[in-house]
């Protein structure tokens, strides 16, 4: 049963520390999304990749966030330095976009708490 | 301006009854897709159903159906015979084609969600 895998599931860190979240997309999918979900803002798109190339990261605070896809099986989202306002659930999703509509399959999320 | 509007922050339904979750959207793009996702308390996002703007018939997937009214720009989710396990947040999302220059650079635009509680 193919699924998107995110690690870690939970992360508690102190303000100022670096946080790296990892995502393994579904094999064969060509698009990877990073989302952040908070109670106040709902679901926000941070960045997405098509065939490992970043297409849009306008939703991401550039000074502290970075997203990469070092290979087709791994996407990373890094926060350095982390701040309490970064506390949220971070979702990775992947999909196969060939034209028309297609669903994005979500991972279980990383719940980040910055204290 | 909000592109996806879910006007019901919370909904309640009796088990075994049907429930409709509202979603209206705003786009000038003639080609777009509409999605519904479910997020239970465990936090994962689960794809439920998809409707393309050119689809002639309303999408159905098991107990889920999409009441697509193109002229009104609404894409309501209907859950028939609701079950206790249907209690969750439900999100409506849209992907626009984006025009000739967009290629495949299309993002999902999300509503803020509706919380559904199914009562026994």
Instruction: Write out residues 31-90 of A within 8 Å (CB-CB) of B.
Output: 31, 33, 42-43, 45, 48, 50, 55-56, 89
Peptide bond into B60 cis (omega under 30): no
Q: Which chain B residue has the Cα nearest residue A55?
A: B105
Tell me the chain B residues in contact with residue A99 when contact means C-beta distances shorter than 8 Å. 104
Structure confidence at residue B106 as a pLDDT band (50, 70, 90): low
Tokens of A63: 């000074």
> In chain B, where do the E strands start and end?
4-5, 10-14, 19-21, 24-25, 32-39, 46-52, 60-61, 64-69, 74-79, 88-96, 108-110, 114-119
Residue B3, φ and ψ in degrees, nearest 5: -90, -30
Position A96 scores a pLDDT of: 79
Percent of chain B with pLDDT over 70: 90
Peptide bond into A11 cis (omega under 30): no
Structure confidence at residue B5 as a pLDDT band (50, 70, 90): very high
Q: Is A108's CB within 8 Å of B113's CB?
A: no
- Residue the block writes with tokens 């701040």: A83
Position A26 scores a pLDDT of: 93
User: Which of B59, B62, B80 minimizes the C-alpha distance to B16?
Assistant: B80
Q: Is the pLDDT of residue B55 over 90?
A: no
Position A62 scores a pLDDT of: 86
Q: Is A39 exposed, middle or buried (0-12, 13-18, 19+ CB in 10 A)?
A: exposed
Q: Is the pLDDT of residue B101 over 50?
A: no
Kindly report, residue by residue over A59-86, the tens digit of the pLDDT.
888 899 999 999 999 999 999 999 999 9
Kindly report, residue by residue over B15-49, the tens digit of the pLDDT.
999 999 999 999 888 888 899 999 998 888 899 99
Position A83 scores a pLDDT of: 95
- Regions of chain A with pLDDT less than 50: none
- What's the CA gap between A109 and A103, in Å, rounded? 17
Position A102 scores a pLDDT of: 59
- What's the CA gap between B25 and B72, in Å, rounded? 9
Q: Is B90 on the interface with A (CB under 8 A)?
A: no
- What's the CA gap between A75 and B103, in Å, rounded? 22
Position B100 scores a pLDDT of: 47
Q: Is B22 exposed, middle or buried (0-12, 13-18, 19+ CB in 10 A)?
A: middle
- What's the CA gap between B118 and B105, in Å, rounded? 38
Structure confidence at residue B66 as a pLDDT band (50, 70, 90): very high
Q: What is the mean pLDDT of chain B?
A: 87
């Amino acid at each position: 049963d193919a699924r998107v895998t995110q690690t870690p599931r939970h992360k508690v860190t102190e303000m100022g520390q670096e946080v790296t979240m990892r995502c393994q997309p579904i094999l064969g999918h060509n698009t990877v999304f990073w989302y952040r979900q908070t109670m106040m803002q709902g679901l926000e798109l941070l960045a997405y990749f098509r065939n490992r190339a970043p297409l849009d990261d306008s939703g991401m605070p550039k000074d502290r966030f970075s997203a990469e896809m070092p290979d087709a099986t791994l996407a990373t989202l890094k926060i350095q330095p982390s701040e309490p306002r970064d506390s949220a659930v971070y979702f990775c999703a992947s999909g196969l976009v060939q034209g028309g509509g297609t669903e994005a399959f979500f991972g279980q999320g990383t719940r980040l708490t910055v204290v | 301006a909000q592109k996806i509007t879910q006007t019901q922050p919370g909904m309640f339904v009796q088990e075994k009854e049907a429930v409709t979750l509202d979603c209206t959207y705003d786009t000038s793009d003639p080609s777009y897709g509409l999605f519904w996702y479910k997020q239970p308390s465990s936090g994962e996002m689960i794809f439920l159903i998809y409707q393309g703007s050119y689809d002639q018939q309303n999408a159905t997937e098991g107990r889920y159906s999409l009441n697509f009214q193109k002229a009104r720009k609404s894409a309501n989710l209907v859950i028939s015979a609701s079950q206790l396990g249907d209690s969750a947040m439900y999100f409506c999302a849209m992907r626009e084609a984006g025009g000739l220059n967009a290629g495949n650079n299309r993002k999902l635009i999300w509503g803020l969600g509706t919380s559904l509680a199914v009562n026994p």
